[in-house]
Amino acid sequence: MKTGFVVITGASSSIGEATAQLFIAKGHNVLLLSRREDRLKAFAGRQVMKAIIDITDRPALDQAIAEAEEHFGPVKGIVNNAGRMLLGDITTQDPAEWQEMYNTNVIGLLNGMQAVLPSMIEQKSGTIINISSIAGKKTFADHVAYGGTKFAVHSISENVREEVAPHNVRVVTISPGLIETEWNDQTTGEKAKLNLMPQTIADTIYFAFSQPQSINIREIALAPTQQQS
């Protein structure tokens, strides 16, 4: 019997990796998407399908989802986790970094949502979980471009939530504060202090996903207790 599956983007590390491990442990079939094949080698078994793609490559994304639907059945959820965080002063930051972040954090997220929504609307069921950031709710130094992408995630998520709610489809926004992730090694500005663990975010994602379909936890913002901003 085909029971459906959950798509997890950016599944090769940090939040995505922890989320993939948790969903598999809870018995869900998963489609894991990442640009880095070597980082997905640890995932194997009948519950797992993998696709080495860039989330901005829409034809490749559509093909991966279609193959998973053929194997597992309907898509039950997607965790739009793939993203880039490249911090820097607006006056000196390389504009190529802006483009990279907007391509992945915004266009990639839109691709993920659009790729699964027709099926979810037809099923009258499904959950989209978009990983945003506290930086999508307030501003921080050296976050101009990155923060802009995350403000976009909040706006997109809420707008789509309103549009698909009549079809019994849920859209959830998860907004972490400071978190231990390899993204901190990709920044061109001052590195963030490390705090939240990826497993904590994965647990939060699963909590929202596991609620009855009639309940939509629209947004969760979480941060270390001692994080003031």
Residues annotated as part of the active site? 146
Among 74, 62, 57, residue whose Cα is nearest residue 5 = 74
Q: With 90 as the cut, is the pLDDT of residue 2 above it?
A: no
* Confidence at residue 192, expressed as pLDDT on a 0 to 100 scale: 47
* Confidence at residue 189, expressed as pLDDT on a 0 to 100 scale: 46
* Confidence at residue 195, expressed as pLDDT on a 0 to 100 scale: 80
Q: With 70 as the cut, is the pLDDT of residue 160 above it?
A: yes
pLDDT band of residue 194 (cuts 50, 70, 90) is: low
| Across 37-59, average pLDDT | 94
Do 157 and 132 meet the contact criterion of CB atoms below 8 Å apart?
Answer: yes
| Across 49-64, average pLDDT | 97
For domain 5-221, give the fold.
Rossmann fold (3.40.50)
- Structure letter (DSSP) for residue 224: -
pLDDT digits (tens, 9 = 90+) for 77-87: 999 999 999 99
Q: With 70 as the cut, is the pLDDT of residue 155 above it?
A: yes
* Confidence at residue 132, expressed as pLDDT on a 0 to 100 scale: 98
**C-beta pairs of 200-205 under 8 Å, 24+ apart in sequence:** 201/15, 201/18, 201/19, 201/131, 201/174, 201/176, 202/15, 202/18, 202/19, 202/21, 202/22, 203/22, 204/174, 205/15, 205/19, 205/22, 205/79, 205/129, 205/131, 205/174
pLDDT digits (tens, 9 = 90+) for 172-184: 999 999 987 654 5
Residue-averaged pLDDT of the chain: 93
Domain boundaries, the chain: 5-221
* Confidence at residue 219, expressed as pLDDT on a 0 to 100 scale: 98
pLDDT digits (tens, 9 = 90+) for 93-117: 999 999 999 999 999 999 999 999 9
